[in-house]
Each structure stands twice: as structure tokens, then as C-alpha cells.
Amino acid sequence: MTNTFHPTGATEAAHRVRDVLGAGPVVVLTGAGISTDSGIPDYRGPDSPPRRPMTYQEFVGDAAFRRHYWARNHVGWRHVAATAPNDGHRALAELERAGLVSGVITQNVDTLHDAAGSRNVIDLHGRYDRVVCLGCRAVTGRAELAVRLTDLNPGFAEEVADVEVAPDADAVLASTAHFRVADCSDCGGVLKPDIVYFGENVPRPRVEEAYAMVDGAAGLLVVGSSLTVFSGRRFVKRAVGQDHPVVILNRGPTRADDAATLTVGLGCSEVLRALADGHTARRGSP
């Protein structure tokens, strides 16, 4: 039976989370909900508008889809690049330095855990700031590609600057028919963001690395993920199979609530900050 906790505030929630997870170290699985306080919207939050991400099959199978994606990404990636870590990201980095968190498995592509100072991070679904060629597999920086796309499409990003941006650095644009796409500068192949699309599998070595992180931890803390896709939910199943406690911190229900030891329906930033501050206060006590 799910142990759903309805705390009066973040401090009470942090105490309960700490009681369930113990001294750790724990591994943390994060989703888009941890980045909403940084200004990056999520896909499935209670107040999120309906969105339909492009699939891998659409991207690789149709040049028009690729053109549409790169036009939107040419605008959207700048918004993500301009964001900064919030208190939740910073709190997790502090907890890692204190030895209470062994590492972070993130479903996000925004790189904000790195920016906050977390050292042991697995980017499960890739990173928005890299681009890979589907032909020769060369990897380049997204900023480098931006220069080429700007040369091919002068003024395009500035003309559509006020847009809605999605978690994967996509942007909602009405028309992209005249956008020009850049090919790989090495082999002329198709360029794709180094992001795992819907319909695409997470590379197996990356999954095994994440499994090993879960196996070596004393528990699992899920933060800001609805666990709708199996890509993240599998780690809850892994932890439960080893009788490790699982705590889910998410504003809305998730697809793994029934498997969790404890679920807390509060915002990520305030509870994580209370966890970090509570550890600092206890460490400073005589």
C-alpha cells in the first residue's frame, strides 16, 4: 500500500523523507519537475499544456520534420541555455558533497545539475548542448551549430523571440517552411540533437551505469517525475526489487506511486532545500 504523506510544510516533509531514506547514501532520479522553478516547463505537470514531442521515427524519416524541428530548436535552445539552477538543483549538489547523495540520474537534458555543482550525474536522455551526426557519429557543441544556423537563417531567431519553450529546448512556432537546415560539416550527414527522442532507446551502457548506481545506493529518491515512461520507472522497479526504500517527491500522481515507500505531493525546491538545511543544522549541533 502506498504511504502517501500530506505534510503541513517543507520542513515536516524533509523530516519524514529523511526518516524513510535513512543515512544514505541515496541515488536521486530527477524529472522535468525539478527544473520548473528555473523557468523550464514540464510535459506532464498539473498545469502543463498538452504537448506532443517529435518522435525519433519522424525525425529520421522525413526531411520536413527535421527542418521543422531544427527551426524550433534554433529558437528554443537559447532559452534553455539562459536558465540557471534553482534551489532544488543546488540542494542536491550540497547533499552529494555531504555524502548523503551518491549520484543523480536525470531524465532532463538541460544540464542544470552540472551547473549547480553535482559531480556524479548520468544524463539518461542526453544533453541539449550537444549535437551528433547520424552518419559519422561526430559530436559537436550546440553553440557551434547555432553559428552555422544563424548564417543560413539570418534574423530568424530574433523574429520569433517570444515563444513557448518545451523541456527539450523545443519551441512552438507557427511556420518553419523557409528554414534552412545544416548538415554535418565532416561528412554531410544528418545532424540530430544528442537527446533520446520518444521512440528511441536509451543506450544500453548508460542504462547499466544507472542500474549500478541504484544497486550501490541505500535508497532511491524520485524528484519531479511523473514516471510515465518506462525509461525512468525501471529504476523504481530495480530499487523495490532490492528492498530499498523509494521516496517520490512530485506535485502530481505518478505511475509508480503504488510501489513507493513514501510519496510527498509538494514542490521539489522547497523540500530539497529543507533536506539540505536540515543536514547542515544537525551537523552543526553539539
Into how many domains does the chain fold? 1
Binding residues: 31-51, 107-110, 133, 136, 184, 187, 224-226, 250-252, 268
CATH number at residue 232: 3.40.50.1220
Distances (CA, A) of 242 to 128, 215, 220, 249, 278: 33, 8, 11, 20, 28
Q: Other CB atoms closer than 10 Å to residue 222's CB: what's the count?
A: 28
- Indicate which residues carry an active-site annotation: 125
Residue 60 sits in which domain range? 4-284
Grid cell for residue 136: 559519422
Q: Report pLDDT digits (tens) over 270-280.
A: 999 999 998 87
For residue 164, the model assigns a pLDDT of 56
Binning pLDDT at 50, 70 and 90, where does residue 104 land? very high
Binding residues for Zn(2+): 133, 136, 184, 187
* Residues 37-64, mean pLDDT to the nearest whole number: 76
Whether the pLDDT of residue 244 is over 90: the answer is yes
More confidently predicted of 229 and 29? 29
3-state DSSP call for residue 122? Answer: strand
Binning pLDDT at 50, 70 and 90, where does residue 286 land? very low
Q: Report pLDDT digits (tens) over 163-194.
A: 555 555 555 555 677 899 999 999 999 999 99
> Residue 156 is which amino acid?
F
Binning pLDDT at 50, 70 and 90, where does residue 111 land? very high
Cα(63)–Cα(66) distance, integer angstroms: 5
Whether the pLDDT of residue 145 is over 80: the answer is yes
> Residue 7 is which amino acid?
P
